[in-house]
Amino acid sequence: MIEDPFEQVAFLGFDVFGTVVDWRSSVTRLAEPFLRRHGVHVDPYRFADEWRALYQPAMERVRSGERPWVKLDVLNRENLETVLSRHGVDVGQIPETELIDLNLAWERLDPWPDSVEGLTRLKRRFAIGPISNGHMAGMMKLARFGGLPWDIIVGAEVAKSYKPQPETYLKSAAAVGLPPERIAMVAAHNEDLAAARALGFRTVFVRRPREHGPAQTSDLEPRSNWDVIAGSLLEVAEVLGCG
Amino acid sequence: MIEDPFEQVAFLGFDVFGTVVDWRSSVTRLAEPFLRRHGVHVDPYRFADEWRALYQPAMERVRSGERPWVKLDVLNRENLETVLSRHGVDVGQIPETELIDLNLAWERLDPWPDSVEGLTRLKRRFAIGPISNGHMAGMMKLARFGGLPWDIIVGAEVAKSYKPQPETYLKSAAAVGLPPERIAMVAAHNEDLAAARALGFRTVFVRRPREHGPAQTSDLEPRSNWDVIAGSLLEVAEVLGCG
């Protein structure tokens, strides 16, 4: 008899940016009118990539203790000003409301085409929620924007730490009232799953080969024998008996 | 032109025990087989009332600083043992699994008949979530049990403090990313609304005249001019244009 490693699992925790939502297309689309209006000469896809590229270094300053924990929207806003400045924009001359609005792009990201239906099916068997580096209000607005049927929002803000730091996973587990072995982390990023597995979580790898566009080189394939490896959240639902 | 006090409101925070779910009928029904099996001679309704009566004093020990903040399920479990002992039960003789199971009654409470449809309608206009003294995992399981369509769970655990302490409301507001005046507290309890209003929240009173059974004397009527006064969550939805 084959043991089902998900028999005892009661909660699926999701990475969100890249795994559930397509941040690159959405940020590009939302930034394009701003860039045009202000005469910023940069391809909007490149702008989205450059903005996103500042995400890990900004969190690293928090992880390292160089600065206290702040919510992701604060980091995103700082990074926005950095990337605009690099393209010669005098940020002080941009109306504050426009900067606020552009930063809110991260709360208006389209789900991948399979996400809403996949989550809806998975929710029949498991409680579901983000274990994301996004902040709670941002995750809430993203869910309302895209129709993501979360049962709860945990992750970085609950833990006051950023993945892949262990606290982010462990405090999220404590908040949903389950030990790590009864939770599966679902992510398109090998590093995220490696950190979760090291703590005892089950792991689900979802291929998102276009997260970074057609030239993506990272996370194209699973780097370990994750418990489930799938091409979409619908496939995850099927594998876990929620088809 | 009449000003709509809810024009700027973006989030409705709900009291849950009594306002959204009927704890008394549910705890009574779930406790009855336990009491019968162990020969505890007490009316199950009275048992539920006695268990619940220990809820405020237990939280008060946390509010006063006499003990550190603990999640509500811990308090409920302690209170269960107290009330069983009062009825002559030797708690140490009861199998641990039975005590755990009985304590989980607080995560299996039926919504009032209007709750799910009322919340579903309100969710079209507002983000919604508990600002309850319940803990996050309990609120999540209660939502899955009853089909409560929350967007987010905030409240006591997010704040590490129990209502009506100001931190519970203010840290919940911070977590949803809104100032108090853009949030309405929805509750069947005047004290809850008074605490919220003092901090700048909008207020919605829902009459729940049978929360404590047919002999209820508390909170039968609004004690102040709350912004909305209604007989059900469906009526709240109607008043707020989500009919």
Looking at the partner chain, which of A135, A138, A151 has a beta carbon nearest the beta carbon of B140?
A: A151
pLDDT in tens, A40-91: 999 999 999 999 999 999 999 999 999 999 999 999 999 999 999 999 999 9
Residue B47, H or E segment: helix B44-53
The answer to whether residues B157 and B136 touch, using CB atoms and an 8 Å cutoff, is yes
Q: How large is the greatest C-alpha to C-alpha distance in chain B, in angstroms?
A: 67
**DSSP at B243:** -
Q: What is the pLDDT of residue A163?
A: 98
- Rounded CA-CA distance A20/B139 in Å is 24
Residues of B within 8 A of A139 (CB-CB) are 152
Q: What class is the B24-107 domain?
A: mainly alpha
| Minimal C-alpha gap between B175 and chain A (Å) | 6
Confidence grade of residue A1 (pLDDT, cut at 50, 70, 90): low
pLDDT in tens, B180-226: 999 999 999 999 999 999 999 999 999 999 999 999 999 999 999 99
Confidence grade of residue B235 (pLDDT, cut at 50, 70, 90): very high
The answer to whether the CB atoms of A127 and B138 lie below 8 A apart is no
| Minimal C-alpha gap between B11 and chain A (Å) | 11
Percent of all residues in chain B with a pLDDT value above 70, rounded to a whole number? 99
Give the pLDDT mean for A142-156: 98
Look up residue B93 and give its two tokens. Answer: 């003789």
* For residue B157, pLDDT beyond 70: yes
Q: What is the pLDDT of residue A13?
A: 98
Chain A: which residues have CB within 8 Å of chain B? 127, 129, 135-141, 143-144, 150-154, 157-158, 175-178
Q: What residue spans define the domains of chain A?
A: 11-22+109-239, 24-107
Q: Do domains B11-22+109-239 and B24-107 have the same CATH topology?
A: no
**DSSP at A111:** B
Residues near B130 by beta carbon (within 8 Å), at least 6 away in sequence: B13, B14, B15, B16, B20, B139, B150, B153, B154, B155
Q: What is the pLDDT of residue B243?
A: 78
The answer to whether the CB atoms of B175 and A157 lie below 8 A apart is yes
| Minimal C-alpha gap between B123 and chain A (Å) | 9
**DSSP at A109:** P
At B203, is the secondary structure helix, strand, or coil? strand
The answer to whether the CB atoms of A151 and B143 lie below 8 A apart is yes
To the question of domain A11-22+109-239 being in CATH 2.60.40.4070, the answer is: no
Residues of B within 8 A of A141 (CB-CB) are 127, 177
Look up residue B85 and give its two tokens. Answer: 């002992």
